[in-house]
Amino acid sequence: MNIMKMMKQAADVQQRMGRVQEELAGRTVTFTSGGGMVTATARGDLSIARIEIKPEVVDPDDVEMLEDLVTAAVDGALKAARDLAAEEMRKVTDGLGLPPGMKMPFQG
């Protein structure tokens, strides 16, 4: 493979990755904890879009449980968003012919 072809391919991949990152910001994933008592929605760019808490889970005498449920919901939503982003980026880098074992930073 000549160097000019490799440079063009790298530029194309970079452009596609930029488009995918923009698209990911508009996509969301959700995760619930506590049997649906707390729901976290994350965007594909790893920002939190929304936290929903059912009123019946709010107990002033057990704030720690609510904190745990929120933490679990946010952690799950962010993991789902990371998985979504990694899958979309993998689609962009397929066909690059990377050596076995070499991964892009987002591939974990």
Q: Is the pTM of this model over 0.85?
A: no
Query: Average pLDDT by consecutive 10-residue portion of the chain (108 residues)?
Result: 76 82 90 97 94 95 96 97 89 65 50
pLDDT of residue 98: 55
- Tell me if 66 sits within 8 A of 73, measured CB to CB: no
pLDDT in tens, 53-80: 999 999 999 999 999 999 999 999 999 9
Q: How far apart are CA 77 and CA 40, in angstroms?
A: 6
Rounded to the nearest 10 degrees, the angle between the axes of helix 3-25 and helix 63-93 is: 150
pLDDT of residue 91: 82
CATH architecture of 30-94: 2-Layer Sandwich (3.30)
The arrangement of strands across the sheet holding 48-53 comes to: 28-33, 38-43, 48-53
Domain ranges of the chain: 30-94
